[in-house]
Structure 1
Amino acid sequence: MWCDVAAESYDRFMGRYAGPLADRFLDLARVRPGQRVLDVGCGPGTLTTRLVDRLGAAAVAAVDPSPPFLEAVRERCPGVVAREAAAEDLPFADGSFDVALASLVVHFMADPVAGLREMGRVVGTGGLIGASVWDHASETGPLATFWSTVRELDPGATTEAGLAGVAEGALAELCDDAGLRVVDVDRLTVTVGYESFAQWWEPFTLGVGPAGARVQALSADHREALRGTLERRLGTGAFEVRASAWTVLARP
């Protein structure tokens, strides 16, 4: 399962984008000292570490279904309560937190509506829920060039454009379905630089996410055809990728 990859592999692949996005996400949610915050689908701790920096470890809890990711969180964020759990079944009592955040995870939940509803339960009345997902449905997601090239070579390929919440307005609709009251919708954009095509391509071979799984499933010939087409499109020198994520704040 791709979510059981090493934390370092995630860091090299999506962590380059998830880090700067997490900073903007926390600013949008106005996370501040004195609050108790739950990081839902924490992965290897990209958002968790930033929460600890702002609030202290005692005010932060994190959940994820991946044991390797949780091991990384416990190592990187000593003192944080980190439990193995799915978003749809959070192991906390009603109203345990002031804020529950899900950064880049709603589109991978087995049941996004149930997951968001659980987030509402654990913050309770007056609490805040925040969620962000990459805009994979347009050409502004971080993997847009990769997936458009995949479809060019294989028109029948399944991409991430059909995942839950990734299209404009879709994340807010999921919150509505979960019985949450949306209070803000934004589109956060980050820019990530690469020194070369090789630096950009190598993380795709690590098996992280649907894109990494796609690359690993290809035959050697098809993988080289994809790599070669992408290199011709992007060039061999330095370049930047601008990546946008839909972000919603809501209350129970």
Structure 2
Amino acid sequence: MTFDVAGDAYGRFMGRYSEPLGPVFADWVGVRRGERVLDVGCGPGALTSVLIDRVGVDHVAAVDPSPPFIESIRGRFPDLDVRMAPAEQLPFDDGLFDQTLAQLVVHFMQDPVTGLGEMARVTTRGGQVAACTWDLAGDRSPLAPLWSAVRRIDPGATDESYLPGAREGHLAELATEAGLLDVETAELSVTVTHPDFDEWWEPYMLGVGPAGDYVVSLDPTARDALREECRAGFPSQGPFEVTAVAWAIRGRA
């Protein structure tokens, strides 16, 4: 899936969760200064910025298939080696990177096994490949409040629990099938404070990803009903927290 939305729209929608997830993911992976690192499916740069801070822009490369995201990240990091391509066709030579990472990307790969295999191909022998995906099937993703409300109103709706890597153990299965060795798994979590319900809801109106597509596809009456169903699940006033959990894997190329 290629996101045909502006980078700032994605940032308002998912960046509020992916940005705090980036340091947690990089810590677990163990990115170290001196390593050459690739960010696959970089989006507007939530993880890329963390990698640049840790190893320097000259040691980071990034790739994404979305033209708006490429434009956004090039604007943020003009000296970054960033290229437009899908995970399944990485435009890099074999064994170029010490670490190759994909944050919240496997869900949207057209062929996850090929994509993870490509990540292994461009990683040096014995280097590390790592990925993380939201626990969409376990209702622990940042989108869980929205999709839970959708199912209560529209039980036949298709949510995102079917996506690759969305259920427990599936990301590790994909990594093993792609040929990664010594695959390890973990659960990573972030907690985000929202000042009020409207701040939480408004980004769903931007049409980002399957959840945003669903919301904007509704007629005004149905959309209002969904909004109120979501609102009922949160405190009536003041700030509230949303905790999101991601599955993570790391393995050797």
Ranges in structure 1 where 5+ consecutive residues have no aligned partner: none
Hey, what's the Cα distance between the residues in 2 that align with 1:25 and 1:78? Answer: 24
1:27-106 equivalences under 5 Å are 27-106=27-106
Q: Which secondary structure state, in structure 2, belongs to the residue aligned with residue 151 of structure 1?
A: helix
Counterpart of 1:8 in structure 2 is: 8
Residues 1:199 and 1:51: Cα distance change in structure 2 (over 3 Å): same
How far the C-alpha of 1:215 sits from its partner, in A, is 0.5
Tell me which protein shows more helix as a share of its residues. 1
Identity across matched positions, percent: 54
1:104–1:131: 8 Å Cα contact kept in structure 2? yes
Structure 1 residues 155-182: Cα deviation after superposition (integer angstroms, max 9, x where no partner): 1100010100111100000001111114
1:182–1:248: 8 Å Cα contact kept in structure 2? no
Moved over 2 A (4+): none
Q: Which secondary structure state, in structure 2, belongs to the residue aligned with residue 4 of structure 1?
A: coil
TM-score relative to the length of structure 2: 0.97
Q: Which secondary structure state, in structure 2, belongs to the residue aligned with residue 27 of structure 1?
A: helix
1:154 aligns with 2:154: yes
Q: Which amino acid aligns with 2:94?
A: D
2:176–2:183: 8 Å Cα contact kept in structure 1? no
1:178-217 equivalences under 5 Å are 178-217=178-217
Hey, what's the Cα distance between the residues in 2 that align with 1:128 and 1:220? Answer: 47
Q: Which secondary structure state, in structure 2, belongs to the residue aligned with residue 3 of structure 1?
A: coil
2:175–2:183: 8 Å Cα contact kept in structure 1? no
1:96–1:123: 8 Å Cα contact kept in structure 2? yes
For these two proteins, the number of residue pairs brought into alignment is: 252
Hey, what's the Cα distance between the residues in 2 that align with 1:99 and 1:232? Answer: 43
Structure 1 residues 13-68: Cα deviation after superposition (integer angstroms, max 9, x where no partner): 11011011110110011101110000000000111111111111110100000011
Hey, what's the Cα distance between the residues in 1 that align with 2:182 and 2:212? Answer: 33
Q: Which secondary structure state, in structure 1, belongs to the residue aligned with residue 161 of structure 2?
A: helix
Q: Which secondary structure state, in structure 1, belongs to the residue aligned with residue 188 of structure 2?
A: strand
Q: Which amino acid aligns with 1:140?
A: R
Residues 1:247 and 1:156: Cα distance change in structure 2 (over 3 Å): same
2:132–2:249: 8 Å Cα contact kept in structure 1? yes
TM-score relative to the length of structure 1: 0.98
Q: Which secondary structure state, in structure 1, belongs to the residue aligned with residue 9 of structure 2?
A: helix
